[in-house]
């Protein structure tokens, strides 16, 4: 049991109970229900990201409405318990008017929700470091929204990958291969567009471009693969740019725009240089990959 997660959760649950004990006005249930809903959605972030990738807007709106209703009921029940206890002990009194006490209770709930979410993300990152890439089906976001969807376990692994701070390349490649092996390349790329290409984690973005390389096509219907690759060439991290160069080469990009970008990335790197490039030097690896890819295109 992680006390850093449990304690903020208990404080959050205590806020509507305390509001009832203090006979605060019923209206305080509304903002507390919104905070509860936000905490719930944050705790299921992977599932909600999957929903954004796979569900229509109307279905997502319905999910949000149901979540808000359920959390409002939970908040109201906790409030009623506190209110009832206070009535039994001190006698029934009408609720007080809205004042600074209500703002303080809502503020405490917000702080508790934020702290709980922060510590949960840290805990998930530690857990992800000890979890094999293929063993994510029982993760915290493996249930709920997206049940039965073939991409659901891959999205869970993607969320866990993004939560980690140290990732071996083999884990990136293994997950990328799983995406690339899905039967519908267009749908796979659309899911990656919604969940991976713009992720804050460099590891997730590398995985997305590696999957694009494994798919190895630029003519995927309804998806602008060349535009995705050109966007990857502007990524702030050299390893992601490296993967985008490689993906563009395998996908068959040959146009002048791609070659001009390769020339800019290659700089003064000599594609004929046989000296070993340090494997850990991302910038040098990028320059050489771009230079050799450009030389191959010009020669062909």
pLDDT digits (tens, 9 = 90+) for 239-273: 999 999 999 999 999 999 999 999 999 999 999 88
Total domains present in the chain: 2
Minimal CA–CA distance to 209: which of 184, 244, 235? 244
Residue 260, domain member (yes or no): yes
Mean pLDDT score of the chain, rounded to an integer?
84
Q: Give 169's Cβ-side CA count (13 Å radius).
A: 6
Q: Same structural domain for residues 88 and 203?
A: no
Residue 32, domain member (yes or no): yes
pLDDT digits (tens, 9 = 90+) for 26-74: 999 999 999 999 888 877 666 666 666 666 788 788 888 988 999 999 9
Domain range for residue 217? 167-299
Q: Is 143 helix (H, G, I), strand (E, B) or coil?
A: coil
Residue 157, domain member (yes or no): no
Last residue of a domain, one of 77, 106, 129: 129
Given a cut of 80, is residue 82 above it in pLDDT? yes
Residue 151, domain member (yes or no): no
Q: Same structural domain for residues 197 and 115?
A: no
Q: Same structural domain for residues 119 and 189?
A: no
pLDDT digits (tens, 9 = 90+) for 137-167: 333 343 344 456 789 899 989 988 988 888 8
Minimal CA–CA distance to 108: which of 3, 172, 32, 179? 32
Last residue of a domain, one of 83, 105, 129: 129
Residue 154, domain member (yes or no): no
pLDDT digits (tens, 9 = 90+) for 100-142: 999 999 999 999 888 877 666 555 444 433 333 334 333 334 3
Q: How many CB atoms lie within 10 A of CB 283?
A: 14
Q: Same structural domain for residues 8 and 116?
A: yes
For residues 8 and 110, what is the distance between their CA atoms, to the nearest angstrom? 10
pTM over 0.85: no
Count of residues making up the chain: 300
Residue 160, domain member (yes or no): no
pLDDT for residue 275: 82
Q: Same structural domain for residues 79 and 199?
A: no
pLDDT for residue 47: 63
196-218 exposure pattern, b = at least 16 Cβ within 10 A, e = fewer: bbebebbbbbbbbbbbbbbbeeb
Q: Same structural domain for residues 219 and 115?
A: no
């Amino acid at each position: 049991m992680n006390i850093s997660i449990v304690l903020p959760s208990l404080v959050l649950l205590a806020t509507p109970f305390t509001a009832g004990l203090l006979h605060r006005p019923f209206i305080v249930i509304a903002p507390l229900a919104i905070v509860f809903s936000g905490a719930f959605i944050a705790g299921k972030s992977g599932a909600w990201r999957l929903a954004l990738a796979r569900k229509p807007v109307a279905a997502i709106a319905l999910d949000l409405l149901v979540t808000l209703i359920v959390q409002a009921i939970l908040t109201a029940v906790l409030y009623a318990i506190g209110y009832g206890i206070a009535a039994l002990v001190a006698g029934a009194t009408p609720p007080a008017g809205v004042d600074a006490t209500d703002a303080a209770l809502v503020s405490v709930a917000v702080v508790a929700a934020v702290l709980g979410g922060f510590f949960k993300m840290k805990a998930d990152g530690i857990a992800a470091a000890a979890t094999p890439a293929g063993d994510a089906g029982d993760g915290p976001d493996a249930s709920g929204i997206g049940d039965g969807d073939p991409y659901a376990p891959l999205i869970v692994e993607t969320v866990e990958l993004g939560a980690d701070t140290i990732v071996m390349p083999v884990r990136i490649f293994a997950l990328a291969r799983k995406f690339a092996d899905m039967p519908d390349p267009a749908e796979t790329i659309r899911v990656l567009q919604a969940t991976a290409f713009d992720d804050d984690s460099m590891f997730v973005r590398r995985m997305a471009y590696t999957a694009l390389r494994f798919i190895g096509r630029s003519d995927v219907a309804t998806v602008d693969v060349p535009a995705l690759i050109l966007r990857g060439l502007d990524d702030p991290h050299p390893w992601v740019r490296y993967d985008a160069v490689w993906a563009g080469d395998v996908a068959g990009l040959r146009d002048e725009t791609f070659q001009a970008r390769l020339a800019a990335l290659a700089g003064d790197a000599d594609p004929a240089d046989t000296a070993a490039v340090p494997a850990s030097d991302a910038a040098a690896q990028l320059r050489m990959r771009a230079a050799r890819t450009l030389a191959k295109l010009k020669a062909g």
